[in-house]
């Protein structure tokens, strides 16, 4: 230990000189670095069950439907937030090739712009169990605007995923509705024909009326479900509940200039100290070999 200290004291002057120079140089370079600002929007996915047509049913035995979605809904939203669809939207909508000064004709241009964007973008579940979406940019206003816009895009993508299944259900309901309508028409024609030809055949007329009543009831049930589902799909419903919208940041996110200077200074000092010890030990090793010879 004392030997190392003696070596460092022997080299103290060049070590201090170069360490101070490194500190000054890193401070100068850090001042040239642009400031980056971060804006964050916080939201929670809604429970898709609220959009299901079963919500219109009034059955006392039904379980209550919670306002917010489950872990599955959160995972789906985060997956959409990291999807190629969102990345492609951001690249085109914000003209990221120009923004990041990347030649779209250059080699690996798509990779470079995607990597640059993803380094300044993050969507993940936070400690409170909701979803945080953050954007970092030199322009604080753009960071805030882009964060809010990307959250709206995720909302749109999430809505498409949820409603794509409902659109398939709507097609099935439409087919059922057409079939029930044809059945009602046929039974009604049969009833009218029987009443015209055999007005005294009360038994047949009663049976046909009973069948017609049941079919009309089925038709009304299917039509009610169809109308409710169509009403839900046709509305511009939000699938995300926003706790906090992004606003322009007042303070920069990076660079942390003090850490750059401190880190560079410590690294330089330790590197020079190690070099000094290595050189002195190597000299001793060489001297020992020469003495043996």
pLDDT band at residue 220 under the 50/70/90 scheme: confident
Judge whether 121 and 246 are in contact, CB under 8 Å.
Answer: no
> For residue 182, what are the CA distances in angstroms to 12, 51, 108, 169, 187?
99, 30, 60, 20, 9
Summarize the confidence of residues 72-81 as an average pLDDT.
93
pLDDT band at residue 119 under the 50/70/90 scheme: very high
Is the pLDDT confidence value at 3 over 80? no
Is the pLDDT confidence value at 96 over 90? yes
pLDDT band at residue 60 under the 50/70/90 scheme: very low
pLDDT band at residue 65 under the 50/70/90 scheme: low
pLDDT greater at residue 234 or residue 280:
280
97 CB contacts (<8 Å, ≥6 apart)?
91, 103, 104, 109, 113
Q: Indicate the average pLDDT of the chain.
A: 84
- The gap between the terminal CA atoms of the chain, to the nearest Å, is 30
Structure tokens at 276: 């000094």
Euclidean distance between CA atoms 256 and 261, whole angstroms: 9
Is the pLDDT confidence value at 59 over 50? no
Euclidean distance between CA atoms 153 and 157, whole angstroms: 6
Summarize the confidence of residues 95-110 as an average pLDDT.
92
The fraction of the chain above a pLDDT of 90, given in percent, is: 33
Rounded (10°) CA dihedral 125, 240, 97, 39: -60
Summarize the confidence of residues 234-244 as an average pLDDT.
81
Is the pLDDT confidence value at 52 over 50? yes
Structure tokens at 22: 């490194």
Summarize the confidence of residues 50-68 as an average pLDDT.
53
Specify the CATH number for 36-251; select among 1.20.1260, 3.40.50, 3.30.1890, 1.10.1200. Answer: 3.30.1890
Note the pTM of the prediction, 2 decimals.
0.67
pLDDT band at residue 44 under the 50/70/90 scheme: very high
Summarize the confidence of residues 6-35 as an average pLDDT.
84
**Per-residue pLDDT at 147:** 96
pLDDT greater at residue 231 or residue 169:
169
Is the pLDDT confidence value at 61 over 60? no
pLDDT band at residue 231 under the 50/70/90 scheme: low
What order do you get walking across the sheet with 37-45 strand by strand? 121-125, 131-137, 37-45, 240-244
pLDDT greater at residue 59 or residue 222:
222
Rounded to an integer, what is the distance from CA 212 to the centroid of its chain?
A: 52
The fraction of the chain above a pLDDT of 70, given in percent, is: 88
Judge whether 173 and 226 are in contact, CB under 8 Å.
Answer: yes
pLDDT band at residue 155 under the 50/70/90 scheme: very high
């Amino acid at each position: 230990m004392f030997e190392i200290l003696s070596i460092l004291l022997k080299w103290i002057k060049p070590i201090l000189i170069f360490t101070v120079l490194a500190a000054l140089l890193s401070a100068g370079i850090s001042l040239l670095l642009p400031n980056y600002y971060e804006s964050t929007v916080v939201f929670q996915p809604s429970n898709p069950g609220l959009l299901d047509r079963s919500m219109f049913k009034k059955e006392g035995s039904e379980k209550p439907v919670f306002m917010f979605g489950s872990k599955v809904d959160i995972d789906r939203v985060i997956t959409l937030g990291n999807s190629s669809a969102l990345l492609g939207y951001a690249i085109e909508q914000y003209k990221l090739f120009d923004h990041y000064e990347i030649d779209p004709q250059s080699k690996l241009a798509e990779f470079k712009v995607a990597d640059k964007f993803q380094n300044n973008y993050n969507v993940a579940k936070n400690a409170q169990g909701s979803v945080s979406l953050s954007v970092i940019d030199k322009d604080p206003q753009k960071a805030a605007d882009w964060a809010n816009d990307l959250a709206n895009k995720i909302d749109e993508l999430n809505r498409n995923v949820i409603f794509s299944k409902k659109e398939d259900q709507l097609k099935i309901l439409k087919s059922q509705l057409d079939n029930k309508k044809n059945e009602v028409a046929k039974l009604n024609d049969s009833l009218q024909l029987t009443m015209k030809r055999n007005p005294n055949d009360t038994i047949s007329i009663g049976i046909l009326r009973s069948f017609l009543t049941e079919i009309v009831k089925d038709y009304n049930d299917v039509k009610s479900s169809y109308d409710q589902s169509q009403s839900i799909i046709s509305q511009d419903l939000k699938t995300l509940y926003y706790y906090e919208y992004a606003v322009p940041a007042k303070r920069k996110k990076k660079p942390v200039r003090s850490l750059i200077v401190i880190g560079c200074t410590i690294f330089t000092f330790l590197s020079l100290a190690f070099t000094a010890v290595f050189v002195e030990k190597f000299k001793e090793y060489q001297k020992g070999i020469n003495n043996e010879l």
